[in-house]
Chain A
Amino acid sequence: MTAASRAPARRPRPAHLRSLRRWLGAALLAALTVLVVLPILWMVTTSFQAGEKMFQLTTEWIPTVWHPENYPNALSRAAFPTYFFNSGVVSVAVMAGNVVFCTLAGYGLAKFRFPGDRFMLLLILSTLMLPLEVTLVPTFLVVYNLGWVNTYQGIFGPLLVDAFGVFLMRQAILSVPSDYIEAARIDGASELRILWQVVAPQCRPALAVLAVLSFRDSWDQFLWPLTVVSQDEYRTFPLGLVKFGEYYGNPATEQMAIAVLATIPVFLLFAVLQRWVNRGFGLSGLK
């Protein structure tokens, strides 16, 4: 308050003007938000539209007649239940793999000193320049030689650990006080138990971020499944959706129905973990 009592360079604005500005700002931000999420709203509303209403020169934001049958129709045209199941299996495996292995590696790198630890960290970070898009051909050959073409492990295997996840967990575990770990160690707790019962509970925000992002990234995968899957029974939903759009000349409304269904699991996971995700992103100071 001493600062405020020094001659202020500006006259404070009258209160009612300030509050007007605030509400004006809120209205502008709300308008911007609506504009940004408009394509999502379009997707939802179109999925309930009649097929022939597409590509009229106006968009009907609230369907005059609702067509919820777009959903079962779309699902029955191709093996979408199978595709979604496959995507689910792969994404849950990738999420689990990242949560487990990134946490283990992050703990090892954050709380232990051993010869070559820095080098290992840099080595892991350097794999950021080796995404599947770059190593597509040899990774395919590796998976092919393992006999994993057209299998679940073929799809999720190369996605099981991600360098960003390791880095994220290392950074999070760094801020867990070493005293807690030592105390548990002196009490005779095993190293894994320390990780599970002392370290992990303090890293829930980072773990939530890791879970949401690794699930989303795996759910999003397109190029890799496209490369490693040729049988319909192992197709993930993005492949199915593309095939669906290409081969059947299917109505946009049904494509959007599938797109909505594909979006729901990621939104749900985010909703469930949101409380921690925000903290994981360092947004706890936001009102």
Chain B
Amino acid sequence: MSTAHSARLPDAAAPDRGERAAGARLRRGGLRFGRRLQLVGAAFVLPALLFFLAFKFGPMLWAMELSLSAYDMVSAPRFVGLENYAKLAEDPVFRASLINTFVYIAGSTALITLAGLALALAINTAVPGARHCMTAMFLTNLMPIIAVTLVWRFLLHPFGLVNQLLQPFGVGRVDWLTDENLAMPAIIAVTAWRFAPYFMVVFLAGLLAIPKDYYEAAEIDGAGVVRRFVHVTLPLLMPTLFFVVVVSALLASRIFLMPYIMTGGGPGDATRVLSMLIYETGFSYLKMGEAAAISVVLFAIMLVFTVLQMQIFMRSERAHLR
């Protein structure tokens, strides 16, 4: 699942400490009750944990090992040390893909965040019909990505709707997807179109959680719309904002389908990203070791965002316990 609803933590009571003490006084089936509860708790988590060991941690460790070998699924893997990484460092396609991935992550994260916030602020004005507008816009987030991609490939066609709508403004024919300077921005825009409405909802939840009194107080102090936004909304929305940035960056680092269908990585290598390179290297050329090395690089990028994400989580958790 790509996204999260956790910007706002529920106002939960920390699990009751008394529970354990009370439980300890009971005995059941030979085991002390508290001990039994511990086992039950762990047993609930076990299936998910086993799943993650088998399909996440196991494969990642395997990828690290594979990245040090040459393997084509026909003959047995052969240890080659850092050769795969050395090859990547010299590969211009890899370098281009790495840069593209960063550009894509930065561009789409910025656009998703700004658009999501702007939409949420617009809905939060609570003008008549705001709620219906929100539901309608959220639909873009439910449209299958493959449908989004195919629709936008037609819309961005030189004779497509986008150019038709821009024509009255004196914009001539624009080759959105075949111009190497425009293809990446176009894909970023489509990404924002698909994902911003989701984060609109996350922002909206954050906005609704800000007590109305704060705005009233600011208004009484003579703060206008802008100052209320800068001094009340923004500081209180900071945790949500930070969360949205990290989650959309994590989302963006996984991009595959949009460039794969809309541009095929082109023109040239202008929109080739790391996930495409992993797929091509591994499954078109059967260079599993090299593909694993690219995976490790992509993993390193995601690691940064995940560490950030965890810090947000730990901070909110501590705020809770206080």
User: A259 contacts which chain B residues (CB < 8 A)?
Assistant: 144, 146-147, 150-151
User: A98 contacts which chain B residues (CB < 8 A)?
Assistant: 1
Binary flags per residue of B112-156, CB closer than 8 Å to A gives 1, else 0: 000000010011011111110111110110111111101110110
* Complex CA–CA separation, A56 to B158 (angstroms): 11
Q: Are B135 and A274 in contact (CB under 8 A)?
A: yes
**Distance in Å from the Cβ of B160 to the closest Cβ of chain A?**
8
User: B197 contacts which chain A residues (CB < 8 A)?
Assistant: 36
**Distance in Å from the Cβ of B242 to the closest Cβ of chain A?**
15
* Complex CA–CA separation, A209 to B5 (angstroms): 9
**Distance in Å from the Cβ of B133 to the closest Cβ of chain A?**
4
Q: Are B127 and A139 in contact (CB under 8 A)?
A: no
* Complex CA–CA separation, A237 to B260 (angstroms): 16
**Distance in Å from the Cβ of B168 to the closest Cβ of chain A?**
12
Q: Are B38 and A113 in contact (CB under 8 A)?
A: yes
Q: Are A286 and B208 in contact (CB under 8 A)?
A: yes
Binary flags per residue of B1-21, CB closer than 8 Å to A gives 1, else 0: 111111011111101100110
Asked whether B238 is an interface residue with its Cβ less than 8 Å from the other chain, the reply is no
Q: Are A3 and B257 in contact (CB under 8 A)?
A: no
* Complex CA–CA separation, A18 to B252 (angstroms): 41
Asked whether B62 is an interface residue with its Cβ less than 8 Å from the other chain, the reply is yes
Given the interface pairs A114-B42, A139-B59, A214-B1, the reply to whether A220 lies near B295 with Cβ below 8 Å is no
Contact of B127 among A29, A125, A191 (CB under 8 A): A29
Contact of A266 among B4, B142, B204, B260 (CB under 8 A): B142
**Distance in Å from the Cβ of A239 to the closest Cβ of chain B?**
9
Given the interface pairs A111-B15, A137-B291, A166-B48, the reply to whether A129 lies near B299 with Cβ below 8 Å is yes
User: A220 contacts which chain B residues (CB < 8 A)?
Assistant: 144-146
Which of B91-99, B175-183, B306-314 is found at the contact surface with chain A? B306-314
In this complex, the member of B155, B209, B217, B305 whose beta carbon has the largest number of chain A beta carbons within 10 angstroms is B155
**Distance in Å from the Cβ of B251 to the closest Cβ of chain A?**
9
Number of interface residues of B (CB under 8 A): 113
Asked whether B222 is an interface residue with its Cβ less than 8 Å from the other chain, the reply is yes
**Distance in Å from the Cβ of B276 to the closest Cβ of chain A?**
9
**Distance in Å from the Cβ of A248 to the closest Cβ of chain B?**
14
Q: Are B19 and A178 in contact (CB under 8 A)?
A: yes
Binary flags per residue of A92-135, CB closer than 8 Å to B gives 1, else 0: 00000010011011011111111111001011111111110111
**Distance in Å from the Cβ of A9 to the closest Cβ of chain B?**
3
* Complex CA–CA separation, A126 to B25 (angstroms): 37
Asked whether B169 is an interface residue with its Cβ less than 8 Å from the other chain, the reply is no
User: B302 contacts which chain A residues (CB < 8 A)?
Assistant: 128-131, 134
* Complex CA–CA separation, A155 to B37 (angstroms): 36
* Complex CA–CA separation, A213 to B138 (angstroms): 12
User: A191 contacts which chain B residues (CB < 8 A)?
Assistant: 40, 44
Interface of A is mostly: helix
Q: Are B19 and A167 in contact (CB under 8 A)?
A: no
* Complex CA–CA separation, A182 to B19 (angstroms): 8
* Complex CA–CA separation, A217 to B195 (angstroms): 13
**Distance in Å from the Cβ of B9 to the closest Cβ of chain A?**
6
Contact of B6 among A102, A131, A168 (CB under 8 A): A168
Q: Are A124 and B48 in contact (CB under 8 A)?
A: yes
**Distance in Å from the Cβ of B215 to the closest Cβ of chain A?**
12
Q: Are B295 and A286 in contact (CB under 8 A)?
A: no
Interface residues in A42-65 by Cβ distance below 8 A to B read 42-43, 46, 54-59
User: B313 contacts which chain A residues (CB < 8 A)?
Assistant: 125
Q: Are B133 and A281 in contact (CB under 8 A)?
A: no
Q: Are A222 and B275 in contact (CB under 8 A)?
A: no
User: A242 contacts which chain B residues (CB < 8 A)?
Assistant: 146, 261
User: A74 contacts which chain B residues (CB < 8 A)?
Assistant: none
**Distance in Å from the Cβ of B75 to the closest Cβ of chain A?**
14
**Distance in Å from the Cβ of A160 to the closest Cβ of chain B?**
6
Contact of A164 among B4, B9, B59 (CB under 8 A): B4
Interface residues in A172-219 by Cβ distance below 8 A to B read 172, 174-175, 177-179, 182, 191, 195, 206, 209-210, 212-214, 216-217, 219
User: A126 contacts which chain B residues (CB < 8 A)?
Assistant: 306, 310
- Chosen A-B contacts, 27 in total, with CB atoms closer than 8 Å, are A3-B220, A23-B128, A39-B152, A39-B161, A40-B140, A107-B44, A109-B44, A117-B42, A130-B60, A131-B254, A133-B275, A133-B278, A138-B63, A140-B282, A161-B52, A213-B2, A216-B142, A222-B146, A238-B257, A242-B261, A259-B147, A266-B143, A267-B142, A281-B201, A281-B205, A282-B208, A286-B204
A137-B66, A241-B146, A263-B142 known; 9 new pairs, CB 8 Å cut-off, are A3-B220, A9-B221, A23-B128, A56-B159, A108-B42, A113-B41, A114-B37, A136-B295, A138-B58
Q: Which 7 A-B pairs have the closest CB atoms?
A: A112-B41, A108-B44, A9-B222, A174-B12, A282-B205, A138-B59, A105-B48
